[in-house]
Amino acid sequence: MALTTDVVSAARALSPLYILLAASFAFLSYTLYTYQTLAHIPGPFWARISNIPRFLWVWRRRAHEEHIALHRRYGPLVRMGPNMVSVGDPGAIAQIYGFSGTYAKSDFYHVILPMSKGRILPGLFATQDEGVHRMLKRPIAQTYSMSNLVSFEPYVDSTMRVFFEQVDRRFVSTGELCDLGAWLQMYAFDVIGEITFSKRLGFLEEGRDVDNIMGDIWRYFEYTAPVGMMPWIDRLWVKNPIVSMLRPAGWNAMGEFAVKRQTERLRAEEDVENNKGDLNSRDFLSRFIEQMKKDKSIPPWALQAWTQSNITAGSDTTAITLRTIIYNLLKHPHTMERLLQELDQADLSELVTWKQSLTLPYLDACIKEAGRIHPPFGLPYERVVPKEGARISGEWFKGGTVVGCSAWVVHRNEEVFGAEVDTWRPERWLDCDAEQRKKMENSLLTFGHGHRSCIGKNISYLEVYKLVPTLLKTYELELDCPNAKNEWRLENRWFVPQFDFFVRMKKRASVASEKLVET
């Protein structure tokens, strides 16, 4: 009996050790397996056995620079994790991001999805489920077409007038230094509010980040970008249903704003007689509600998913592009001079129209070059190789391997984009034949590619093509950044926004005395 008791006691004492040994063996076996299956792909040694290196690259906010350097060292395919390969070959874009949808989004995107009280809100951009994506996109896709978005131009114009009124009052008339980077983002946010809810968020009038919405979005991506490199952390913490239930209910300020606008609109529509003059039947929110009434199969949460997607991704991408264009024009005066000559020779309205902007080839070249040299998204668009496996850029990958192209890497391919790929050179889009230009356009990943590309890209283009020429034909800008080199600062948290972009502003000598703010 004593012997039996001793054996049982010894077994109990050893059981934790056995569990630890078993777990270690399982981990080691998995590591060796993944190491071997991608052993033919070059890359840093530690990245072959752990995701910690790519976590740290993102954590240090310079991942795009690290990715470019790695591809220049190792070639078009670089192993960046035990099961992740970065693809720098533009020829692989159509295969990975094609309209067939066979390459599903990786778990990086699951980290992006917001969660409250155990409930995950699927999003048009981040959902991994192709069925959910089709359900969300199908009813509203036409609303985002450029032919339809031109009908939103009056809303963009009204926000542009407020923008110019504020910079005139605060900076042009006073000579004060303008944080143009911040004001361009406030402009982009207020346009989104105007076209989505017929209600600006109030950034421009107040000259600040109202309710810290911009700050909330930035903090959100400060978390999701590095954690997206190791998604199990998110499942253990933020997406843990038990932990989520213990947190206070509610979304962030951005989500709360969207929910509040939806509630107001739905109540107003219920009382049509008393709200006839207050309802805009043509903004995004009204069109979303209209689609939900037409199709009863659309779940109620789709309305919040649609409106929140507009706010989340609809301003940062635009602001980053606007900053890139204006900053580089100021840093390269000969390109600014060429663009101003084009604007001065054109017959343009006080507020440049979308139709007029399409007649300005050098403006178009500057906008394309901005999307090339500084794309808004600074990490690979991760996808999962289908279960049958695939050959990518001449190498075989087993099903389940995570692959992805980074726009920052692909846009620096000299075979496609020519020489001086690290340099701002809008002329590359004009000094080439039609075939080469088409090749460059097909290799741009500014807003992604294929059926999962950013649905709101036309909103961004509408804002950019109108604001840039109107701003530059009206004001003379002088770069005055705070550091010794007169340069801005970049931080990569999936979005790659710019900071410390300051200018001094005055009216151009050729501008007539009448003010833009007059109606």
* pLDDT for 505 beyond 80: yes
In CATH, what class is 45-507? mainly alpha
Poorest-pLDDT segment among 93-107, 129-143, 247-261, 494-508: 247-261
* Higher per-residue confidence, 215 vs 68: 68
Binding-site residue set: 454
* pLDDT for 10 beyond 50: no
Contact indicator for 29, 37 with CB cutoff of 8 Å: no
* pLDDT for 405 beyond 80: yes
411 exposure class (CB count in 10 Å sphere: 0-12, 13-18, 19+):
buried
Percent with pLDDT over 70 in the chain = 87
Binding-site residue set for heme: 454
Is 198 in a helix, a strand, or coil?
A: coil
Banded model confidence at residue 457, pLDDT cuts 50, 70, 90: very high
Write the DSSP assignment of 419-480 as a string of letters: S-TTS--GGGGTSS-HHHHHHHHHT--BTB-GGGS-TTHHHHHHHHHHHHHHHHHHEEEEE-
Domain spans in the chain, listed from the N-terminal domain onward: 45-507
Per-residue tokens: 6: 């001793």
Banded model confidence at residue 507, pLDDT cuts 50, 70, 90: very high
Banded model confidence at residue 262, pLDDT cuts 50, 70, 90: confident
* pLDDT for 56 beyond 90: yes
Percent with pLDDT over 90 in the chain = 68
The DSSP letter of residue 301 is: H
Q: What is the pTM of this model?
A: 0.90
At which residue do the structure tokens 């991608």 appear? 38
Alpha-carbon distance 70 to 469, whole Å? 37
Per residue in 471-493, pLDDT (tens digit) is 999 999 999 998 888 899 999 99
Mean pLDDT of the chain: 88
* pLDDT for 3 beyond 50: no
Alpha-carbon distance 168 to 175, whole Å? 10
Contact indicator for 335, 366 with CB cutoff of 8 Å: yes
Alpha-carbon distance 428 to 70, whole Å? 25
Query: For position 243, what pLDDT does the model report?
Result: 75
* pLDDT for 117 beyond 80: no
Neighbours of 202 (CB within 10 A): 16
